[in-house]
Amino acid sequence: MKHHGLSEIARRTAEPPIAWLMKLTLDKPGLISLAAGFTDNPSLPVGETAGLLRELLGSPASGPQALQYGSSAGDPLLRQLTAERLQTLDQTPGGETYSPGRVLMTNGSQQLLYLVAECLCDPGDIVLVEDPTYFVFLGTTQTRGLICRGLRIEPDGIDLVHLETTLEELKRQGLLPRLKLLYLVSYFQNPTGATTSFEKKTRALELLKRYERAAGHPIYLLEDAAYRELGFPGVLAPASALAVPGCSGRVIYAGTYSKPYATGVRVGFGILPEPLYTIALRLKGNHDFGTANLLQQLLARALASGAFARHVKGLRERYAAKAAVMVKAVQREFPEKVEWRPPEGGLYLWARLPRRIRSGIQARLFKSAVEREVLYIPGELCYADDAVRPKPNHEMRLSFGGASETNIREGIHRLGAALHDLMD
């Protein structure tokens, strides 16, 4: 087969499914997208950011420095404030675990996820993921030639029995030396909204540790906390896996300022144990030798001034209100046989249809939704290719992040009509 001289990695990389969905949105101006993981436009902190930038650039001490290159690891003040904030969220003394020296600033947490895969995994290596999981991470695993095994999830996180049987099976098959990572989207998960309990993180780390001897190397827990700050008012988010006693050497924490502050600022971070920290830093040196200094210094000011904390508080209320609009609309418009849970945070509602109703891109439901000018993320896109089970194809992810309240109501109304057409 002709390959135009492209590298193996280039030939492995397929077009992301979301690119096609985005194009559809642009091609049809009347279309209501409940698909994209966009944040709420009217609540983006435009005024606060303009003020902070004026302060930053208005001073001869900070202005030129903010417009200069920074370091690969990131702005020292932002690293310190990030470490402090995490320690406060985790409510633990923590010591060295939360040292700014373990914080690596990245271009969104997406870059951190990619760097981790680059640090740890060769083609043919195995990664355990939630079933379903964040589909962009599945793109990373595909590009890097990794094999995914899906783990069932429950409302409080992965099914630990399934984790253990999967580890046993890999051991029996002599495949444990290829297992590098367990990837969990642990707060208000994309796509299901589930939050992993602290107890489950603790037990998962214990289990991974038990199989390390047979693996011959550490097996890490990669905790993706992208939605951690977006719990609705009154919802308590558990501590991160960094707070599990004695385990911080096996936890990689991926965090972001995209969702809680501004998706357009796109600064994320990782907390990594050695030797991963040093290796990720070297790789980041090759990627871009540092995240934009201006954006990091803007965030440092937002955190230090209290603007960030105020913004997050408002966002939680805003998303809780938008989720309530979606919940009410779904209650009113969807057939009773559709199963779903009210979200407690994050940006998504996950709906499960009776198995006979397919929701994939080729399905009648999806086509009917597009004809009615409403878009959702077909659940199948969120499942890894895993030879051990067929990919479920009867679910949908609905986002209340980007759409206005009017469009949420109208979008769910259109989708409800498409569902009734097929199901009644």
- Positions in the binding site for ligand PLP (CB under 6 A): 37, 108-110, 134, 185, 190, 224, 226, 256, 258, 263, 266, 268
Alpha-carbon Rg for the chain, nearest whole angstrom, is: 22
At residue 281's C-alpha, the angle toward residues 278 and 286, to 5°, is 130
Q: Which is nearer to ligand PLP, 110 or 166 (CB)?
A: 110
Q: Which residues neighbour 200 within 8 Å (Cβ) at sequence distance 6 or greater?
A: 156, 157, 158, 160
- Which amino acid, 49? T
> For the CA atoms of 181, 183, 186, 191, what is the dihedral angle to 10 degrees?
-170
CB 189, min distance to ligand PLP, A: 7
User: Which residue has the CB atom at the shortest distance from ligand PLP?
Assistant: 108
Q: Kindly state the smallest distance separating residue 418's Cβ from ligand PLP, in Å.
A: 26
Asked whether the CA dihedral 273, 275, 280, 281 is positive or negative, the reply is: positive
Output 402 or 416, the one with its CB closest to ligand PLP: 402
| Least distance (Å) between residue 1 CB and ligand PLP | 33
Nearer to ligand PLP, 193 or 416 (CB): 193
* Structure-block tokens of residue 261: 């502050």
Count Cα atoms within 13 angstroms, Cβ side, for 28: 16
Q: Which helix (H) or strand (E) holds 268?
A: strand 267-271
Nearer to ligand PLP, 20 or 67 (CB): 20
Residue nearer to ligand PLP on the CB measure, 138 or 408:
138
**Which is nearer to ligand PLP, 105 or 126 (by Cβ)?**
105
Q: Which is nearer to ligand PLP, 56 or 185 (CB)?
A: 185
Smallest separation, CB 191 to ligand PLP (Å): 9
Tokens 């698909």 locate to 35
- CA–CA dist 9, 78 (Å, integer): 34
Cα→Cα distances 241→45, 71, 227, Å? 30, 28, 15
Q: Give start and end residues of each alpha helix (H) in 144-184.
A: 160-172
Shortest Å distance, C-beta 134 to ligand PLP: 4
Residue 106 CB, nearest approach to ligand PLP (Å) = 8
Distance CA 357, CA 241 (A): 37
Q: How far is the CB of 215 from ligand PLP (least distance, A)?
A: 26
72 vs 399, which CB is nearer to ligand PLP?
A: 399
Q: Closest approach of Cβ 382 to ligand PLP, in Å?
A: 11
Specify which residues 129 forms β-bridges with.
Answer: 150, 183
**What H or E segment, with its residue span, contains residue 87?**
helix 76-90
